[in-house]
């Protein structure tokens, strides 16, 4: 029964359940009545298959979702190139194009070239840090921040750079692997 629920994690960590498998192995789409109504048609159509009715309906329903529903997943092209991060500081292509002026007509892979991505990343980090320091009663001028350089980056910049929970800790743990050696 692995993967027998259709779940999504909303912002703030709440889990939204779109569907679940019932005890009798049928699917329940709850408030999503259009999906439930279509699924029930598959159950009714498979009634001539006897004991394998539910398994048959589920298999045909899965194929329908894969091949036909909403254009079919089989026809969907993954947008990994535009949803990826690139270069030394891992700037997202979408971020670089929308916030940092990277031309959408230039291939995303060029962000792997440090002379292309690094200036954008530094500009973005400086803007995020300046904004965060201002909100926390610090000032960029003089670089004498009451919270210190390391804390400014760890507690103010990194959470804005990537809002994934635990990102800062993960960055620190990974960076420990690459400390300069004597």
Q: What is the pLDDT of residue 50?
A: 60
Nearest-CA neighbor of 102 among 85, 87, 116, 123? 116
Q: How far is CA 120 from the centre of its chain?
A: 22
Grouping H, G, I as helix, E, B as strand and the rest as coil, residue 28 is strand
* 162: exposed, middle or buried (Cβ count in 10 Å: 0-12, 13-18, 19+): middle
Give the mean pLDDT of 21-25. Answer: 82
Give me 31's structure tokens: 């408030």
Residues 114-168: pLDDT tens digits? 898 888 888 888 888 877 777 655 555 555 667 777 777 777 777 777 766 676 6
Domain ranges of the chain: 5-75, 85-178
- pTM of the entire predicted model: 0.47
Alpha-carbon distances of 141 from 134, 144, 160, rounded to whole Å: 11, 8, 21
Give me 144's structure tokens: 């004498």
Give me 78's structure tokens: 């993954």
Residues 69-91: pLDDT tens digits? 767 766 766 667 777 888 878 88
Work out the angle at residue 6's Cα, subtended by the Cα atoms of residues 3 and 8, and round it to the nearest 5 degrees. 115
Give the C-alpha separation, 29 to 17, whole Å.
9
Give the C-alpha separation, 73 to 68, whole Å.
8
Q: How far is CA 168 from the centre of its chain?
A: 17
């Amino acid at each position: 029964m692995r993967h027998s629920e259709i779940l999504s994690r909303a912002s703030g960590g709440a889990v939204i359940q779109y569907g679940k498998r019932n005890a009798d192995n049928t699917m329940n789409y709850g408030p999503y009545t259009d999906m439930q109504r279509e699924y029930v048609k598959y159950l009714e159509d498979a009634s001539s298959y006897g004991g394998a009715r539910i398994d048959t309906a589920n298999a045909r329903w899965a194929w329908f979702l894969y091949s036909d529903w909403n254009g079919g997943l089989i026809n969907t092209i993954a947008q990994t190139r535009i949803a990826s991060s690139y270069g030394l500081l891992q700037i997202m292509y979408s971020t670089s194009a929308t916030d940092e002026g990277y031309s959408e007509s230039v291939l995303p892979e060029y962000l792997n070239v440090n002379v292309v991505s690094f200036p954008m990343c530094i500009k973005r980090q400086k803007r995020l840090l300046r904004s965060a320091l201002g909100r926390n009663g610090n000032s960029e001028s003089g670089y004498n921040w009451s919270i210190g350089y390391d804390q400014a980056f760890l507690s103010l910049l990194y959470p804005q750079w990537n809002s994934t929970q635990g990102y800062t800790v993960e960055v620190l743990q990974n960076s420990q692997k690459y400390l300069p050696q004597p």
